[in-house]
Amino acid sequence: MNASENGSTCVPEAAAGEPLDLTPLDHILEEFKGRRGAVIPILQRAQDAYGYLPREVLRAISQKTLIPLNQLYGVATFYAQFHLQRRGRHLVRICDGTACHVRGSGKNVEAVERSLGVGPGQTSEDYKYTLEIVYCLGSCGLAPIAVVDDKVYARLAPEALVQRLESLE
Ligand code: FES
C-alpha cells in the first residue's frame, strides 16, 4: 500500500544527506499567513504533510513566522499528538489495560517485539511499524485488543496478530 492508498498525504522521506522538500510547508504557511494564534494548526498541518515534525520543518516554521523555535518545541513536546521522530508506516497500538492484560495482551506485546523487532514506544529500523502501548480503548468485552492504523483486531492470539502485521505492505 502506498501513501495515497492508506490515506496519508506524507511527503516522501528525503534520502540520507538530501535536504527535505519544504515546498509543502511553504503552501501551509502561505495559508496561515498573518493569522495569529495559529501555532497548533500549523504544526498539525505540517505533521500531516511530513508524518512527523522534523527539525528542519520546525526551524523553517520559526524563520518564516517569527515564532521562536523554543516556543514551537514547547508546543510540540507538550501535546501527545505531535511527534518529533519519524514514525513507522503502520501504527500498532496494543491495549494493555486491565481487561486486555488479564486476557493475554502481554503475550501480544512480546510476540510483536520478538517477531518484528520493535519495542513499546519504538519504530522499527525499516520504518514499517511504530508500536505503542495504550491503556483501555473502551472495548474491554473484545479483549485483548490491538488497533493497527485504524483497524481493530479483537481477541487475536499472538501468532495471528504477528501474521496480520507481517502481511501489511
Ligand atoms: S482494557 Fe483493553 S479495551 Fe479496555
**Residue 120 sits in a domain of what CATH number?**
3.40.30.10
- Which secondary-structure segment (H or E) carries 93? strand 90-95
**Global pTM?**
0.75
Same domain flag for 49 and 68: yes
- Rounded to the nearest whole angstrom, what is the distance from the C-alpha of residue 143 to the centroid of ligand 1? 6
Question: What's the structural domain count of the chain?
Answer: 2
Residues touching ligand 1 (Cβ under 6 Å) are 95, 97-100, 136-137, 139-140, 143, 145
Same domain flag for 34 and 73: yes
What is the mean predicted confidence (pLDDT) over 69-79? 97
Q: Which of 57, 85, 113 is the C-terminal boundary of a domain?
A: 85
Q: How many percent of the chain have pLDDT more than 70?
A: 90
- Which secondary-structure segment (H or E) carries 145? strand 145-148
Q: How many percent of the chain have pLDDT more than 90?
A: 82
Q: Which of 58, 85, 112 is the C-terminal boundary of a domain?
A: 85
For ligand 1, pick from 136, 147, 152, 153 the residue to mutate: most ligand atoms within 8 Å of CB.
136
pLDDT at 11: 65
Same domain flag for 12 and 77: yes
What is the mean predicted confidence (pLDDT) over 141-156? 95
- Rounded to the nearest whole angstrom, what is the distance from the C-alpha of residue 100 to the centroid of ligand 1? 5
pLDDT at 16: 61
Q: For 51-69, write each residue's pLDDT tens digit.
A: 899 999 999 999 999 999 9
Q: Which residue has the higher pLDDT, 49 or 13?
A: 49
Q: Which residue has the higher pLDDT, 1 or 80?
A: 80
Same domain flag for 115 and 81: no
Same domain flag for 66 and 11: yes
pLDDT at 9: 52
Amino acid (one-letter) located at 144: P
| Confidence band, pLDDT 50/70/90 cuts, at residue 3 | very low
Same domain flag for 25 and 49: yes
- What are the Cα distances from residue 48, in Å, to 44, 45, 53, 72, 91? 6, 5, 9, 16, 14
- Rounded to the nearest whole angstrom, what is the distance from the C-alpha of residue 94 to the centroid of ligand 1? 9
Question: What is the domain range of residue 16?
Answer: 1-85
- Rounded to the nearest whole angstrom, what is the distance from the C-alpha of residue 16 to the centroid of ligand 1? 40
- CA-atom Rg of the chain in angstroms: 18
pLDDT at 8: 44
Of all atoms in ligand 1, which is nearest to the CA of residue 105? 2
